Structure 1
């Protein structure tokens, strides 16, 4: 349960950061304003997948997140009236986006890769700490 909460909090932090990039984009560098929001959105999708799949490998969550992000971006090529109406809402626009951009595919990939790297790096660091702690315990015996 503790890990699920960690990933849920990570997703919330990424949401706040992503909305902040959109809101304060005029105060940020053009590069950050143009690219960070989509990367943060994809990172949030990864964190959400990890919250649901805490007992699975991180690579599975990364793969599912990648496929989900690609599907959402490609869905923007679909131009029916009902989906335009859905995209015109705040939540619909944030989740489904507004129009297909090939560069978004790269932004999503980078966002997932960064959060995935942080995730597996955190686990590697925890494992290293545990091995050091075990060695110290054995040396005390």
Structure 2
């Protein structure tokens, strides 16, 4: 399914998801533990999905989802590698937010959920516009 995305809308989505992700860390005490454990990772993957949609506004939804999933899973897999230089990057706030710290299989599932939410959102909005 091809889609023509509005960059203004996707930039707004990206900023909303960033805000929600940072808020989920700030207010984690108010979020149930099960949700809190996976929410940040799912939102991070959703942000990556929207960034890819922003950059490649005519890319089909399936391809956007595939690229987002591959990128997120590659970042998670990279957490198996530890060296002084990359761990120094990870020790910074931005480096930790982007690269993460340690590999977890549960993060792969959370990333997959975030990407699926992005794709499903596009499918719903695309179907709504065609009526």
TM range (shorter): over 0.9
Is the Cα contact below 8 Å between 2:49 and 2:68 reproduced in 1?
yes
Between the two structures, name the one with larger relative contact order (CA 8 Å, sep ≥ 6): 2
* TM-score normalised by structure 2 residue count: 0.94
User: Greater share of helix residues, 1 or 2?
Assistant: 1
Question: How do 1:93-112 residues align onto structure 2 when only pairs under 5 Å count?
Answer: 93-112=96-115
CA radius of gyration, larger in: 1
Give the deviation of 1:2 after TM superposition.
7.1
- The within-5 A match list for 1:60-75 is 60-75=63-78
Q: CA deviation at 1:53?
A: 1.0
Matches within 5 A, 1:7-26: 7-26=10-29
Distance in 1, matches of 2:5 and 2:82, equals: 42
What is the aligned partner in structure 1 of residue 84 from structure 2?
Answer: 81
Task: Pick one of 55, 80, 84 that aligns with 2:58.
Answer: 55
**Shift in Å at residue 8 of structure 1?**
1.2
C-alpha RMSD over aligned residues: 1.2
- Deviation of 1:78 (Å): 0.5
Q: Matches of 2:79 and 2:5 in 1, distance apart?
A: 36
Q: State yes or no: 1:30 paired with 2:13.
A: no
- Ranges in structure 1 where 5+ consecutive residues have no aligned partner: 129-141
What number of residue pairs does the alignment pair up? Answer: 128
Q: Distance in 1 between matches of 2:13 and 2:7?
A: 10
Please give the alpha-carbon distance, in whole angstroms, between the structure 1 residues aligned to 2:47 and 2:98. 11
* Aligned partners of 2:45 and 2:68 also within 8 Å: yes
Consecutive aligned runs of 4 or more in structure 1 exceeding 3 Å deviation: none
Q: Match for residue 45 of structure 2?
A: 42
Q: Distance in 2 between matches of 1:51 and 1:120?
A: 16
